[in-house]
Amino acid sequence: MAFLTDWHLLGLVLDITGVVVASAWFIGHFVLVYRAVGSVQVRRNVANLEIREALTPGALLAVTLLSGALLGLLVGSGTSRLAPQVALAWQGVSYGEAEPLLHHDFGVYVAQLPVWRAAHSFFLLLAVLGLGTVFGLYLLVGAAQWIEGRPAINTHARVHLGWLLAGFALALMWGYLLEPYELAAGLDGIPDQAQWKAVTLTAPLLAGVALATAALSAVWALRARHALAAAGWIVLVAASLVGHWIVPPAMTGGGEPLIDSQAAGRLDHAAYGMGPLTVSSVAQVEPPEPPRLPSLWNPATIERALAEDSAQVLSVAPAVLTLRNGRHPVWLAARRMKTDRVSLMALADDRTGPAGEPLFYHAKDSLAGPDATSFLELGTDASYPGAPPYRLHGREGPGIHISSFTKRVMLAWALQASQLLGRLPPDPRVDWELAPVDRLGRLAPFASWGESVPRIIDGELVWLVDGYIGAPSFPLSAQAEWRGRRIGSLRASFVGTVTAETGATRIFLRPGDNPLGEAWAAVSEGVVEPPSAIPVAVLRAMPYPVELLRVQSRTLERPGWKLGTVDGRGAAGLTAAPMSEIAWSPDTSGTELVIAYERTSDRRIDALLVAGREDGNDVLRLVRLDSARVFLSRAALEGRWSRFATYGTLSDSIQDDAGRLERGPVRFDVTPTGIVAYQSHFARRGDGRTILVWVDVASEGRLGAGHGFAEAWSNLLGTTVPSVAGIAQATRLDEARRLLLHADSALKVGDWVTFGKAWEMLRKSFGIEEESNAP
C-alpha cells in the first residue's frame, strides 16, 4: 500500500541523507587537510645538517577520500530511526492548549522538539568529530606543532581550524537556545522556580557569548589574533560553568513548585490520557455486601492447570462470554496443541465445581461443566501469539505465490528463510508475520503494540491489541518509566484487530480525545480507520489498555494527590510494573482493572484506582477511603488470614496428599457498601489437577474464610465456621467443641503450635478474635 511504500522510502531517504551529509562533511575537511600537505615542510637532520622537505603525498588522496567516506558512513548511518519523529513533525500535532511557561501548544514539545534536538545532536557531533580529526591530522603532518616552548600553526591550518571552531561555537549556541524548551518539556524532571529562573536568565546570555565566540573564531581564521580567539573561548567556558553550576543554586525559590497542583494535574491528564478522572470517596456500611461476581481464578493458575497435557498456553485473558442464557464472566485461554491446531477454552471465573474444580463453557451448551473441552477449534493456519515467522503452503493455501526464482531468492533473504531455497511443494505459496503483534507492527510501525487479547466476536476468535504512542517530552508532565525508557507522555491511541482464522487485520483510532493518534492517522493515509468504523461488537469487547493504566497509576503517586504508593513499594518499586487485578462490573458488561494505593507506614489502603469502559470510552475512577477508617494492605491481610487455624489444617492435609497449596492474588472490589478484599487458594494435587480449595475475604474490621466464596462470606458475617478438609460443615457449637478437643489433645502432647492455632480459631468462633483485631 502507498503508506508503507512512503514509510520505507522516508527511512531510505533519511539514511542516504545522513550518510551523504556526513561523508561530504568529512571528505571536504580531509581534502582541505590534504591540500595543506604540500605547503608543510618537515625538518630532518642529516649529518648534523637540518634539511626541510616539502611533503607531496599524491598517493594519500585516495586514502583521504576513503577515510572521509568511511567515517561519514559510520556517523550518518541509522538516521532512518528518526523516521517517526520526522513524519510526525512534518504532519504536526495540535492539542489546542498552551503550556504556562513559553505559551506554546503542547504539540510543539511532542512533535517538533524531538526533531530540533536530533538535528542539533547531529550537527554538534559533526562539529566535534570534524574539529578533533582535523586538528589531529594537522598535528600528524606538522602543520600544528610545539616549537621552542611555544605553539606554532600553519596559516592554512589556522584558517581551517578557525572556521571549524566557529561552527562548534554556533552548535553550542543552538544548544543554549534549546535549553528553555528542554526544561519546559520535563526531560530532566519537572523544574522548580530556581531552575526555571536560572535557565531563562542564563540561556540567552550564554547564546550571546557563544555567538560572540563564533565571531572571534572567524576573525582568528582571517587574521592571526591568537589572544583574542583564546579569550573568547575562555570566557565561553567560564560562562557555561557559571551558568550551569553556580547560578542555579544561588537563585531563590529552590524547591518551590513552578506551577500549582491544579495546573500540574491538567498537564498530566493531557500527557497520559486520563481524561475526566472521577474522584469519589467510600465509607464502610454495615453489614457489608459481597461482590456480585467475584473473580476466583487468575492467569498464572489457569496456565498451570491447562498446561498439564503438554499443550502450550498462548494467552489467558478475562472476557465476557455471551450465550443464550445471558452474559458470563470467563477466562479465555488459547492453547497450541501438539497437532499445531489452536484451541480456545472458556473457564468460568465466578464459580467452581463441587470439589473446587474449574468449570468450562462449551459452544453448544449454555451451562458450565467440568469437561475441559474447547469452545473453539482453529486450523493449523491460524494467527496466534508466538506463531512461526513464516509458513509454506501448496497452491490452495494463503499467502504470496512464489512465481519465479527471483521472487524466491528475495523472499528467502527478506524472511531469512533458507527453506525457500530448497525443495518446495508444487505451486508454492508463503505467508509471514503470522503473530498478531507482528502483523500490526508491519502495518503501523509508528506504534508500539501491546499484548494480544483473545475475544470471541461473531463466533470467531479475534485478537485485540492496543497500540501505544510514547513521547519523550511533554510540557511539565511527570516523567514515567515505560518499556525500559523514560517518557513524558503515553497514549493508547489505537486498537488493532486480527482475525485468528483468516489473519484479516484492521487498525482503528481509539475513541476519545486523541490529538496524537489523529495526527498519526492522517500520516498513515487510510491505514488507521476512524473510531466510527469500529464494529459495535469490537467496541464492546475492547479492554482498558493495561500498560497505559500502569503508567497512569505511577503518575498519580505525585505528592499533590496524597495517595501513598502503588502496592506500598515506594521508591524501590518505581521501575516495576504495578499489580493490577481484575474485578467484574456488576452488570457483567466487562472487566475492571483495580490498582491499590497503600501507606507503607501503617499498612493500610488509601485509595483504589479503578479502570474500565463505559459507553465505548475508557474511564478512570479514583475511589478514596475514609481517612477515619482503616482497611488493611495486602501484606497485612495475608498475615491475618494465615493465622486461621483451619487454614493451617488445610495446608497440612494437602501436603499429606502430596499436593501443594498456592496463593492467588489479593483482589479488591468496590461494592455499594464499601471495599471488599478476597484471595483464592489453589491445590496442586498429586494427580496433577488444580482445584480451588480455600477463599479468604475481608471487609473493614471483619475477616472470613471458607472452602468457597459463599462459605467464606458467611463466615465473615459470623453465621458459619468453615469446616476442616474432609469434615462436613458443622454448626458453630459443634465446631467449637471440635476445636476445643483439638486444642486439648495438642496441649497434652506439648504441641504448642497446633494448640495456638486451634485456640485462636476457637476464640474466633465466639467472636473474640474480631474484637481483638479491631483497629
- With a cut of 90, say whether residue 627 has pLDDT above it: no
Residue 37 in contact with residue 114, Cβ under 8 Å?
Answer: no
DSSP 655-717: HHTT-EEEEEEEEEEEETTEEEEEEEEEEE-TTS-EEEEEEEEEETTEEEEESSHHHHHHHHT
pLDDT at position 772: 37
Total residue count of the chain as it appears in this document: 775
Residues 368-383 have a mean pLDDT of 86
Asked if the model's pLDDT at residue 74 lies above 80, the reply is: yes
Least confident of 33-42, 189-198, 378-387, 653-662: 33-42
Whether pLDDT at 768 is above 70: no
- The cell for 680 is 483464592
CA gap 232, 226 in Å, rounded: 10
Task: Provide the grid cell at 611.
Answer: 479502570
Q: What is the pLDDT of residue 206?
A: 95
User: What is the spatial distance between Cα 459 and Cα 377, in angstroms, rounded to a whole number?
Assistant: 11
pLDDT at 773: 38
Q: What is the pLDDT of residue 571?
A: 43
Paired strand residues for 390:
432
Give the per-residue pLDDT at 602: 77
| pLDDT(304) > 90 | no
* Among the ranges given (127-131, 160-164, 553-557), the one the predictor scored with the smallest mean pLDDT: 553-557
The model's confidence at residue 55, banded by pLDDT at 50, 70 and 90, is low
Asked if 352 and 319 touch (Cβ cutoff 8 Å), the reply is no
Smallest CA-to-CA distance from 109 within 121, 124, 120, 97 is with 97
Structure confidence at residue 79 as a pLDDT band (50, 70, 90): very high
| pLDDT tens per residue, range 333-347 | 999 888 888 899 999
Residue 684 pLDDT: 81
Question: Of residues 408 and 573, which shows the higher confidence score?
Answer: 408
Least confidently predicted of 32-46, 277-291, 306-320, 557-571: 32-46
Mean pLDDT calculated for residue range 739-765: 69
pLDDT for residue 204 is more than 70: yes
Distance CA 141, CA 162 (A): 18
Whether 729 has a pLDDT exceeding 50, the answer reads: no
Please determine, for residue 726, whether its predicted confidence score (pLDDT) is greater than 80: no
Percent of the chain with pLDDT over 70: 87
How are beta strands 674-684 and 376-378 bridged, if at all? unpaired
On average, the pLDDT of the chain sits at 84
Name every residue whose Cβ is closer than 8 Å to that of residue 76 and which is 6 or more positions away in sequence.
15, 17, 18, 19, 20, 21, 22, 23
**b/e burial code for range 402-441 (CB count within 10 A of at least 16 → b):** beeeeebeebbeeeebeebeeeeeeebbbbbbbbbbbbbb
Q: What angle do CA 365, 369, 371 make, to 5 degrees?
A: 105
> Which of these, 235, 181, 243, 182, lies nearest to 211 by C-alpha position?
235
Give residue-wise pLDDT tens across range 243-256.
888 877 766 666 68
The answer to whether the beta carbons of residues 500 and 462 sit under 8 Å apart is: yes
* Tens-place pLDDT, residues 611-623: 999 888 899 999 9
List pLDDT tens digits, range 87-143.
999 999 999 999 999 999 999 999 999 999 999 999 999 999 999 999 988 888 777
pLDDT in tens, 392-445: 776 666 777 777 777 777 777 777 777 777 777 777 777 888 899 999 999 999
Residue 574 has pLDDT above 50, yes or no: no
